[in-house]
Chains A and B, each alone.
Chain A
Amino acid sequence: MTDPIVALEHVSRGYDGGRIIALRDVTLAVRPGEFVAVVGPSGSGKSTLLHLLCGLDRPTAGRVLFRGTEPASPVAWTKVRARHVGFVFQAFHLFPTLTALENVEIPMFGVVADRAARRRRARELLCRVGLGRRLEHRPAELSGGERQRVAIARSLANSPLLIGADEPTGNLDSRASGDVLDLLEDIQRRDGTVLILATHNREVASRAGRLVELGDGRVVSDRCAS
């Protein structure tokens, strides 16, 4: 069995000085090439788990290991996110004053030094997600589905090992949702990238190879999807 890309060891996450516990004593490992859907009702801790797996948040107890080691500081986690993690937000979070091309270039600052190389890579990625003719459009000039495609292209900018997606279809109609999920699935299959998707939608989750179900901050079940 291959070594995990990311692993949680007895991780808990509390807020307000421990009065609210979002995640309790979770142990979980995600290995290369996996497509994991994190499911559960609202408030079950899906997003918190996803944020911890992607290095966006720190646990209040336990350890988060990335490729076998625990990044020692917030700066070390920043480097991990820059080079190995892509993230797709439900609300896209594109920069309104930048074009699609420029939005995709953003994560490459500090990773790819050459300006022309950044531009070339951004163009390639936007072509890959089917937006080759929308390179110079700003987010306000794109549909919801197109914006999420730009966000997916952005998440791929530095060829990550892991992509986290928090309700990526939450703001999309059913047709755009299908397109976005097809795209994410295609990326996961072709590139062998780990895809971790948090959703409350069972239909969306059914596409994943592994289902992690949460309830009240605990892992209720962790199984291969049938």
Chain B
Amino acid sequence: MNKTAMTLASQVELAREAGRHTHHFHGGLHLRHNKKISCRDPVVRPALPELLIVPLLQHAGDIAEPFVSAGEKVLKGQRIGQCQPSAAVHSPVSGTVEAVENRPMSHPSGQPGPCVVIRPDGNEQWVELEPVSDWENASPETLIAKIQDCGLVGLGGAVFPTHAKTRDGRDRQIHTLILNGSECEPYISCDEMLMREQPDKIILGARVLRRALGAERVVIAIEDQMGAVQKALTRAAKLAGSKNISVVKVMTIYPEGGERQLIQVLTGLEVPAGGRPSDLGMVCQNVATAAAVADAVVEGKPLIERYITVTGNGISQPRNFQALVGTPFSHLVAACGDYTDDVARLVVGGPMMGYPIATDDTPVVKASNCLLALTHRDIADPQPEMPCIRCGECARVCPATLLPQQLHLQIKTGLWDQVQEYGLSACIECGCCDYVCPSHIPLVEWFRYGKGEQRKRALESEATELARKRFEDREARLLRFKQERAEKMTRRKQLLKDKAGRGDRIRDAIARAENRVTRTGETPDDA
């Protein structure tokens, strides 16, 4: 629906109706769900691993500065790293720091990064927890500060610091908090399990976040295939006696769970290009983030644990865990009865947007929602890449209504002005185009490259602009100097001329004086 003609203010008004009717977004894919295999057993905490590897970069922003060094004792929940203005990192166990060193991190780059390696002592001794007392009457700023203290980040995958998003939302007059429970990628079921098992905590977290944001309503979006979840959440909301919390079922179409797509489904509105959901008066948080907010504010517990799905045909007994941050994936796989024989690839996240990891001693981080072990059959042999035949399938499935086939060509040939015009920046890298491409062109890879190149070009043009300005300023300065010098010259010349003139004047004066003297001599007291 084209609502671009509407003013932003009227769009914000319309956004208040979020969830009353559901709408559609463009494109998307119906994918095989594959979620049931990991939902059969209740979620358990695995045994403590021998070592925990806690990366210092688990959030959007800079690497956290470590507070601890090798040999130091730490308590469970103790802060071990901090990065202003992003999120803090806490020790998931009580024990001894073995080392602070570079280890393979769970990160799309695959590069090793600084990690705090902790050997647990098994006592699970907590640091003294400081919950916010009476959060219902606490100031929003207190709540936000607590959220920041506890190292909360968005658990849906973007790991944007929660306190920053909340504070920004508060400043921008949010009316609706959307909790995203529509986990649209195949295989992943950790949010569904969380909603089934801890609906009260999610509702509690939602209320805390609502207060911190100053929002009026909460809309929890879940998939239409999660019947039990809707009941559980609705009941929990009723129990909490809280009004204005609604649970809305949305169709299961990938990438429904994308923030912009979900907002479009709930409101029929599109987040303005280059803008944020807060432009429409909305903030979107993952349901797991809400549960973590409840833990942080009401119990004072930092974010050191999360629900994670360990699944795929490469795992003997797929299931969900409540795993400590820092637990090596290999430990979770062992708790699932090890790999099957034909395991071929390990992916963190879902099959559409997840990234592969090279070794399984990579640890769980705040963002890890799923460890997916795929077999050769699941991924199939890499097909040869063929030229684009412009069939347009990619454009049909693109949720951002872009023309991927054109963008691909433009990036390939370096037509950067057109790349800009055709809206590369609106690409959410969902991978729908990749999936349907009959020529097997790695489109998302091209688009990431294109975005990087655009950033580089923007920086370059900034530098060029600066250099140009410098040059122009210098030219202007030189011109000014020249003019000043010329002026000075003329002034001096004038002065010289004046001096010559002054000589005359002096002569005149002398003449006048002499005159006077003569006259005075004749009649001294005449006057």
**Chains A and B belong together in one complex:** no
Query: What is B's interface to A at a CB cutoff of 8 Å?
Result: none
